[in-house]
Structure 1
Amino acid sequence: MELYGSYTSPFVRHCRIALAESGLDCEFVETDRAASAEKSPTKKVPFLRDDTLTLTDSTSILKYIREKSGRVFLEDVAEYDAFCLVNTSLDACVNLFFLELDGITTDRSDYLKRQKARVESTLSELNTMALAHQAPFNDMELRLGCYLAWGLYRQRFSIHAYDNLTHMLQALNNYEPFRDTAPPRL
């Protein structure tokens, strides 16, 4: 089994954490934008290959890893919905990041202003949720932690006003699979 991705992607990081927790044998293959555009129909990372099976989205990869290792991926519809809420905010934030790299900022687009507002409103909502502050962490919490850590790493937002999110991220930073998958320092 091979997982393709970058060390800085929050989506890839979540898959790497799931693999570390699973004990499954998997090689991590670092790839860049050009290689992922060539090797994956989605032209993004992560993607996973296991014999004849190729998965091209982090959610399907996580489900596969969890089920292959005898674990459950997302216990119920409430956890799934919270996972989707995190993904909505993460997607908006990642898109804003890459658009800004291309010189397209929120001051030039009402749509992008709405995306930025979406990030803030979802962080506020996520802060109100019951979150684990010690292991074990569920996949929604792991995805949230990967998102928060990426957002801070890329200086996309601050979480100082969100005590619950801050405490959960501190707890995750002490969790070995999370800590060991941190991106390299800038």
Structure 2
Amino acid sequence: MKLFGSYTSPFVRHCRIVLAQHEQQFEFVPTDYAQSAQHSPAQRVPFFTHNGLKLHDSSSILRYLRSLADQPFCPVPEQFDLYCLVNTALDTTVNLFLLERDGITVDQVPYLQRQQARVTSILDELNQRDWPMGDNTNDAHLRLACFLSWAQFRERLDIHQWPELQKFLSTMNQQAWFANTHPALS
């Protein structure tokens, strides 16, 4: 079992958490942009191999890992919808971050302003919810925690604007299985 990715990627972190939860032995292969473009048609991390199977997206990897442990991946529509909503915000935020690294900022492009508004709208919606704390098998919650932690690590958002999400992340950060995978520890 091999997981290809970077320690700072929130998508990779989610996979590492699930692998650790199930005590799966795996090889982590640090992978940069050039390597991911060479070895994955998605040209991004993570990608994964196991017994001849190759998966190219964190969601398919998570689904596979949960199936190996006889656990469901987002078993009810509401949980999968939440996972997708968080994933949209995460993917958009990562894209804005990477564009900014290339010198293209939100204030320069109206389309990017709409993308930033999308992220804010999603976070506003999520902040209205009650969040159970410390559920390590709910992949929608894990994706949200990985997103919020990465966004703080990369200084992409001020979580104080969303006090319910701030409490949620604070509780997750107190869980060893979550804290031990923080990107700053790589």
TM-score (norm 1): 0.96
* Contact 1:135 1:175 survives alignment (8 Å): no
Find out whether 1:111 has 2:111 as its counterpart: yes
4+ residue runs over 4 A deviation: none
What residue in structure 2 maps to residue 173 of structure 1? 173
What residue in structure 2 maps to residue 90 of structure 1? 90
Aligned equivalents of 2:179, 2:126: Cα separation in 1: 22
Count of aligned positions: 186
What residue in structure 1 maps to residue 9 of structure 2? 9
* Contact 2:48 2:61 survives alignment (8 Å): yes
How is 1:116-135 mapped onto 2 (pairs within 5 angstroms)? 116-135=116-135
How is 1:1-186 mapped onto 2 (pairs within 5 angstroms)? 1-184=1-184
Displacement of 1:137 after TM fit? 4.9
Aligned equivalents of 1:33, 1:16: Cα separation in 2: 19
Aligned equivalents of 2:137, 2:129: Cα separation in 1: 14
Aligned equivalents of 1:144, 1:135: Cα separation in 2: 12
* Contact 2:5 2:45 survives alignment (8 Å): yes
Compared CA separation, residues 185 and 27, structure 1 to 2 (3 A): closer
SS in 2 for 1:160: helix
Aligned equivalents of 1:20, 1:134: Cα separation in 2: 16
Ranges in structure 2 where 5+ consecutive residues have no aligned partner: none
Amino acid of the structure 2 residue aligned with 1:15: C
Ranges in structure 1 where 5+ consecutive residues have no aligned partner: none
How big is each residue's C-alpha offset from its partner over 1:161-182, in whole Å with a ceiling of 9 and x where there is no partner? 2121111101111112211110
TM-score (norm 2): 0.96
